Structure 1
């Protein structure tokens, strides 16, 4: 329930950060059954927000493990359908916990659910696909070994700009990869390489630097929104730029703080209105 309510609210708030979003190929995403959304990952946490708010069915997202190290944080993030995936850079002692996450993914697939995994494992505001890690392949092969009819749907989110508000976004979903595309489901180096080559072939055409001009009505609406919320944008922009030094986390932290700040700003305006009138 928390996830459903928050997703609706975040969908609304993202309109205050994004001028236009074009969604292509959503028909490639099955409306039921177990799915891995294998994503291109150029813009940190904002990628997951946009994808979750575009797809109607709930999505469990795999996120960097260092955010889950505190028990209370892990409990909160789980309420928002998030699970940790640890990289060796976060400490070898945590890698064993990935097995727990993969077991949880298996439960989700058995119940016909969806999991979002960013297959590159890194995020650098890139405009081209980085080398793919083995996590997506491992999860797919382990699931296919249990006879679950899992499908992998490639998805790429493209931004016309980073570190700025008022984005023009193209979100592309590609044709699904299924069990029938492979002959062997053993989790070994050769099969992982074959899987990643297939995934790369389907992901690469979804990555684009071509954006349709923003519609005039969208520009007008966003300019009105910006004018009415200028204090929020100004304060958050300066704070986030200082804290992130315009790194890959700028957009994600800005959007996250906007989700918190806007209701406070609206309540403040409501209070001022009541005092004056």
Structure 2
């Protein structure tokens, strides 16, 4: 309930601040588990993915944000779940896999932190872990532009990633993440 209220409010506010163009929204399946993997350039990225995706998106958020009681309750209300950064967080991994097994959509920023210069950095293995351990469709997403007032912002959802070429090699989670990042880079190169 809170998610949908927040989504509507953010949509209204962002409509006046940014000119958001959405490309490829039809690539996101209407049903079944989905992992949306995006580049990360701003703290505004999660709400932008949340308002441009046709599905409700559950995001991981750094555990520190949940330590303030009011903020923690708000984040839980908008479908965020905590992750301890810099270590393998089994609780966050279990939560993400459970959401996927229940047919939900999770949003990940494989780089783990924002890129200061807008260039895509190496992704962390967590995205590959979720892709390998679930039957989820993986959708690459590229956020292009700056978050300056009244500027144009492009959100591009690519086609589902086909991992068939990697399956024969029994790839590691990191290799799967690397493939995801290559798809994100391709979207950025194509739509900049």
**TM-score over 0.5 for the alignment?**
yes
In 2, distance between residues paired with 1:210 and 1:140?
25
The alignment partner of 2:45 has SS state of helix
- Give the whole-Å Cα distance in 2 for the aligned partners of 1:118 and 1:134: 11
Runs of 4+ in 1 over 3 A off after TM superposition: 70-73, 178-182, 208-211
Partner of 1:191: 172
TM-score, normalised via structure 2 length: 0.88
Q: In 1, distance between residues paired with 2:155 and 2:52?
A: 9
| Candidates 130, 144, 149, aligned match of 1:158 | 144
Which residues in structure 2 correspond to 1:162-177 (within 5 Å)?
Answer: 162=147, 164-177=148-161
C-alpha displacement at 1:37, in angstroms? 0.5
1:16-55 deviation line (CA, Å, top 9, x unaligned)? 211x2111122221111101111100112x1111111111
Q: How many angstroms does 1:174 deviate by?
A: 1.1
1:64 aligned partner: 62
Q: What do the CA deviations read for 1:223-245 (whole angstroms, capped 9, x no partner)? A: xxxxxxxxxxxxxxxxxxxxxxx
Change (3 A) 1:180 1:119: same
TM-score, length basis structure 1: 0.63
Provide the C-alpha distance between the structure 2 equivalents of 1:210 and 1:109, rounded to a whole number of angstroms. 29
Question: C-alpha displacement at 1:126, in angstroms?
Answer: 2.9
Bigger relative contact order, structure 1 or 2, given CA contacts below 8 A and separation 6+? 2
User: Could you say which structure has the higher strand fraction?
Assistant: 2
8 A contact 2:126–2:173 mirrored in 1:
no
Q: Distance in 1 between matches of 2:39 and 2:9?
A: 25
Q: 1:142 to 1:209 in 2, by over 3 A?
A: closer
Q: 1:83-112 CA distances to partner (integer Å, 9 max, x unpaired)?
A: 122212xxxxxx46x211221112211221
1:226-272 deviation line (CA, Å, top 9, x unaligned): xxxxxxxxxxxxxxxxxxxxxxxxxxxxxxxxxxxxxxxxxxxxxxx
Matched residues in 1 for 2:169 and 2:2: separation? Answer: 37
Displacement after TM superposition at 1:66 (Å): 1.5
Aligned equivalent of 2:9: 9
Unpaired segments of 5 or more residues in structure 2? none
Q: Which has the higher helix share?
A: 1
Q: Distance in 2 between matches of 1:179 and 1:210?
A: 23
Q: State the match for 1:49 in structure 2.
A: 47
CA 1:210–1:24: 2 relative to 1, 3 Å: closer
What is the aligned-residue RMSD (CA, Å)? 2.3
Any gaps of 5 or more consecutive residues in structure 1? 89-94, 144-148, 212-277
Q: Which has the larger radius of gyration?
A: 1
Contact 1:141 1:185 in 2 (8 A): no
SS in 1 for 2:153: strand
